Structure 1
Amino acid sequence: MARPHQLNVLATLDRARTQRYHLAAAAIAGTGCLAAAYNQLNLAFLLKLIGRVYYAETATPGKLPDDAAFALFGATYCGTFVGHLAFGLLGDRIGRRRTYGLTLALMAVFSAASGLSFGRTAKAVLATLCFFRFWLCVGVGGSSPLSVTIIAEYANKRTRGIFIAAVHAMEGAGILLAYTVALGVSSVVPEADYLWRAIFVAGAVPAALAFYLRTKLPETARYTALVARDPKRAAADMSLVLCTSIQEQELNVSIGRVDDEWGLFSVQFMKRHGLQLLATTSARFLLGVTYYSQIIILNVLFAKHEWVHHYSPAASMGAVQEVASVAGALALIALCGDIPGYILSVVLIDVLGRRRLLLGGFAVMTLSMLVLATLYDYWTSHAAGFVALYNLAFFFGSVGPRTTTFVAPVELFPARLRCTCHGIAMAAGRAGAVLGIFGFLSKGADRYTSAIGTRNELFVLAGTNFLGMLMSLFIPETRGASLEFIRLVKP
């Protein structure tokens, strides 16, 4: 009788050379990530267009009221938070493939529904939009633990990091797609009310495509063998995928049963995985705080110092033209920072390892914020240098923490809790994002009226990054190890 880590099908997967089915699994999981990123990023255009269309007659024409903006942000982040936890848990209960299909269906249906939001008044339209967007983001949040678990459990141990990082890098493609669609649609759709609806409906296409593609692959062998406890079926599925013959015996139920009885947060679980769960969730939380806070600060500083041409809602520029202008600027920033960072993470993750990228990324982000804070008076008159150094933090964030805190949770925990623990870590990151966004937005631009206030905020971000680097010390290196042995590795 075989122990779980001695099953032929799992050993075959670990040793398999990279072939077509690896690329197919990466394409399926990556398309889901792309759809999720697209449907999150289009909120930037939504806020501008809704304000222009429905609040043109207010005291501040064209500006979306704060309560309406907070409602849309709340629907987005609460839905994503719920999706991370609920579908992470469900993925360990009913299977990766089936649960992934549910998340993609939610994204496809409610992305289209968001574009069809209805109502006789502005508040009615916003109410239906918030409802649809909440369920859209439940699907967005759920796709994260499922997509990464699917590719991790399909990949071989030698190139697993490359494939997981490549799937995560599809978020960068989704970001760029959101800006490209906004640019393209704004060139053919003349009315702002139709423009934001078209941008939303377009988000259903990649989600529907991923939903269809996922039918081409069976359930992952690790779920079937170790969670559903049917290694013969797993061997039969993988024999078809790998075009080879895998002979498997029944799994001895008496072996590994103690491990199966461990509940999440039980004493046994905490002894073996507690520190790893704390480290991965803390690192992701701190990253969420600093990354989204940096975005808010940068936008406010651009407006304050007039480092870029700032278009107010009352300006002569039309809504469609404003969206095209903003989309072009954001696409340029993404091409210079986030996307090169994602690409480099794919290249380096199985060369330098996860831990070095994680620690190095947090270290560079810490140093960048310290230099910006210490020499803030100098940077106020040297905008190009400020933006370049700020962009360096975004670049190394994508190379390091944004990718590696996505990879670590799926590799460190056993198959029966893999989706759940990844969902918890991602939910912690979402909570950090909420703290970063609402904590900074709630004070408004008044926090930045003095150089001292801005400098202090940058020092706080440096400290947050430093704490993230400290928590990363407790995350072990997982490069090149089988998923069934990683949990025995010490940091």
Structure 2
Amino acid sequence: MAGDQLTVLNALDVAKTQLYHFTAIVIAGMGFFTDAYDLFCISLVTKLLGRIYYHVDGAKKPGTLPPNVSAAVNGVALCGTLAGQLFFGWLGDKLGRKKVYGITLILMVISSIASGLSFGKSAKGVIATLCFFRFWLGFGIGGDYPLSATIMSEYANKKTRGAFIAAVFAMQGFGILAGGIVALIVSSAFDHHFKAPPYSVDPVGSTAPEADYVWRIVLMVGALPAALTYYWRMRMPETARYTALVAKNAKQAAADMSKVLQVELESEEDKVAKLSQRDSNSFGLFSREFLKRHGLHLFGTTSTWFLLDIAFYSQNLFQKDIFSAIGWIPPAATMNAIHEVYKIARAQTLIALCSTVPGYWFTVAFIDYIGRFAIQMMGFFFMTVFMFALAIPYHHWTLKPNRIGFVIMYSLTFFFANFGPNATTFVVPAEIFPARLRSTCHGISAAAGKAGAIVGAFGFLYAAQSKDPTKRDAGYPAGIGVKNSLIMLGVVNFVGMICTLCVPESKGRSLEELSRENEENDEADQTANATARTVPV
């Protein structure tokens, strides 16, 4: 009911784009910058970890992480992220967005530094310590997903809300890019000052002792942006929608948003008290009413995010293996350990710069014009097309003259992932659920995505393993394994298109209209009126 919309919420919905919008984007977005850096920088140094800690004296090839160890190193942060999304998503609805927001950053700073300081008397000890701290790093990262999305959606106006939420998520692209750049700088500096011969020349000396500093520095740099953001996060006021609709404090909501919007807003305590009475019998997450109103929506957001992340994280975490398979990154035995990090970082930085980052910002530019549904459907469609185009004639792409074509098409899958479902699956769950369940439902949707990422991280690693032991080289996973993996990812993307049909369009509508909270109030009014008519005077 339009008359029941609080003035403070309506003021946010119709507010012109102001400085506070961009401030909120930067504050929330720096968390995502850090998230992406911390999650994906590990893929830059996993081969280095194998060469340092799993080298066998007298071996004819560089040391590599065993499949189970590689899966653990790459996947443990994702497991922590899944747990953090569920826990902090729930906590954000119970305690408030702001109270929980700082905790996630502190956890990320401490865990980033601790990851780089991983210790142990043996290789297993170092890797076990690294996995322990990366789990807690992921736990902190997990909290950033529902909280950042919810805060931005509740601060934004309805006209450009999609662009603002997508802009927060787009900082992930810069985080991936920054990871590549930092690895390039660090590896280049160490390779220049501590020059080691290629493995084929000196199997022992090709992994200089200083290589152990490279991966530690790369991981610890992730603590810097999170630490720099903490002060500004703590200065942000709680969102008006949480304060008014969940905490039922109309006076505080009006006071906070008066400062933000720089206008005078009335508190409307009577209206909030009226809403509180109506909400006394409001449905919960596990109720039949929630299933009736939002069950299909929650299935749509969880299933599409799950399927998207199978493909997206497989591509990101193991693109170094794919580039090695087609020969774009030289065989490990032709390089020293630090120079291999440089080659991997250069390839991933190029992909991020040419396709990942532009894809995110195409979404920011067009999401409030084209709509969430159309962008997500288009993204899944083109990801499917390009995956099959790479997989079916896979051996054609492994020929040296065709490798650049492979890289271009592979880059396009990243572009349409980000100008597509990788952005929209983050945006929509922050818009379509009631305020009291918004953070929880976003956390559930995001956790489903991380479950898909775990499937992708562990599944792709084993699928790409060669069945022929003579071909198991760190630089060249078997082509047939990579081909089958690409086919599976194409099928996954196609199923994602089908599940997108369950996701509603949320463009240009208020959060209360999308979540049907006003409709809920209307029903409460009708029930009250009907009761009043049946009571004799």
TM-score normalised to the size of structure 2? 0.85
Tell me if structure 2 keeps the 8 A contact 1:3–1:252.
no
Matches within 5 A, 1:283-298: 283-295=304-316
Paired with 2:131 and 2:318, the residues of 1 have a C-alpha distance of 26
Tell me if structure 2 keeps the 8 A contact 1:101–1:214.
yes
Letter of the structure 2 residue corresponding to residue 166 of structure 1: A
Paired with 2:495 and 2:463, the residues of 1 have a C-alpha distance of 24
Q: How many residues align?
A: 485
Q: Does 1:462 align with 2:490?
A: yes
Tell me if structure 1 keeps the 8 A contact 2:43–2:318.
no
Paired with 2:261 and 2:29, the residues of 1 have a C-alpha distance of 21
Which residue pairs with 1:53 in the alignment? 52
Which residue pairs with 2:262 in the alignment? 243
CA gap of 1:442–1:455, structure 2 versus 1, over 3 A, is closer
* Identity of matched residues, %: 50
Deviation at 1:82, TM superposition (A): 0.6
Which residue pairs with 1:434 in the alignment? 454
Tell me if structure 2 keeps the 8 A contact 1:4–1:226.
no
Task: State the Cα deviation string for residues 71-116 of structure 1 (Å, max 9, x = none).
Answer: 3234212111111111111111111111111111100111111111
Matches within 5 A, 1:181-200: 181-189=182-190, 190=194, 191-200=210-219
Tell me if structure 1 keeps the 8 A contact 2:237–2:256.
yes
Tell me if structure 1 keeps the 8 A contact 2:325–2:398.
no
Tell me if structure 1 keeps the 8 A contact 2:183–2:345.
yes
Q: Does 1:342 align with 2:360?
A: yes
Deviation at 1:136, TM superposition (A): 0.8
Paired with 1:4 and 1:415, the residues of 2 have a C-alpha distance of 18
Paired with 1:364 and 1:378, the residues of 2 have a C-alpha distance of 21
Task: State the Cα deviation string for residues 429-484 of structure 1 (Å, max 9, x = none).
Answer: 11111112212212443268576x76554443332212111111121111111111
Q: Does 1:302 align with 2:330?
A: no
Letter of the structure 1 residue corresponding to residue 184 of structure 2: L
Structure 2 segments unaligned to the other structure (5+ residues): 195-209, 468-476, 520-537
Task: State the Cα deviation string for residues 344-397 of structure 1 (Å, max 9, x = none).
Answer: 111111111111101111111122233334444544443333332222222111
Which stretch shows the higher mean deviation, 168-177 or 454-463? 454-463
Matches within 5 A, 1:24-423: 24-57=23-56, 59=59, 61-189=62-190, 190=194, 191-250=210-269, 251-253=272-274, 257-258=278-279, 261-295=282-316, 299-306=320-327, 308-312=328-332, 315=333, 317-376=335-394, 378-381=396-399, 382-423=402-443
Which residue pairs with 1:479 in the alignment? 507
Paired with 1:21 and 1:295, the residues of 2 have a C-alpha distance of 33
Structure 1 segments unaligned to the other structure (5+ residues): none
Task: State the Cα deviation string for residues 267-305 of structure 1 (Å, max 9, x = none).
Answer: 010000000000010001111122234457755443334
Question: Could you say what secondary structure the match of 1:473 adopts?
Answer: helix
Question: Could you say what secondary structure the match of 2:431 adopts?
Answer: helix
Deviation at 1:206, TM superposition (A): 0.6
Which stretch shows the higher mean deviation, 479-488 or 265-274? 479-488
CA gap of 1:71–1:271, structure 2 versus 1, over 3 A, is same
Letter of the structure 1 residue corresponding to residue 86 of structure 2: L
TM-score normalised to the size of structure 1? 0.93
Deviation at 1:121, TM superposition (A): 1.9
Question: Could you say what secondary structure the match of 1:465 adopts?
Answer: helix
Paired with 2:105 and 2:70, the residues of 1 have a C-alpha distance of 26
Task: State the Cα deviation string for residues 162-215 of structure 1 (Å, max 9, x = none).
Answer: 111111100001001111111222244452112222122211111111211112
CA gap of 1:369–1:322, structure 2 versus 1, over 3 A, is closer
Taking only aligned residues, the RMSD between alpha carbons, in angstroms, comes to 2.4
Which stretch shows the higher mean deviation, 363-372 or 111-120? 363-372
Tell me if structure 2 keeps the 8 A contact 1:26–1:167.
yes
Paired with 2:483 and 2:504, the residues of 1 have a C-alpha distance of 34
Letter of the structure 1 residue corresponding to residue 367 of structure 2: I
Paired with 1:310 and 1:5, the residues of 2 have a C-alpha distance of 65
Paired with 1:362 and 1:36, the residues of 2 have a C-alpha distance of 24
Letter of the structure 2 residue corresponding to residue 247 of structure 1: E
Paired with 1:90 and 1:62, the residues of 2 have a C-alpha distance of 43
CA gap of 1:291–1:328, structure 2 versus 1, over 3 A, is same
Question: Could you say what secondary structure the match of 1:445 adopts?
Answer: coil
Paired with 1:259 and 1:474, the residues of 2 have a C-alpha distance of 30
Which stretch shows the higher mean deviation, 175-184 or 61-70? 61-70
Which stretch shows the higher mean deviation, 78-87 or 320-329? 320-329
Letter of the structure 1 residue corresponding to residue 170 of structure 2: A
Which stretch shows the higher mean deviation, 375-384 or 84-93? 375-384
Paired with 2:8 and 2:111, the residues of 1 have a C-alpha distance of 38
- Whose Rg is larger? 2
Letter of the structure 2 residue corresponding to residue 243 of structure 1: Q
CA gap of 1:152–1:429, structure 2 versus 1, over 3 A, is same
Letter of the structure 1 residue corresponding to residue 378 of structure 2: G
Tell me if structure 2 keeps the 8 A contact 1:182–1:324.
yes
Which residue pairs with 1:23 in the alignment? 22
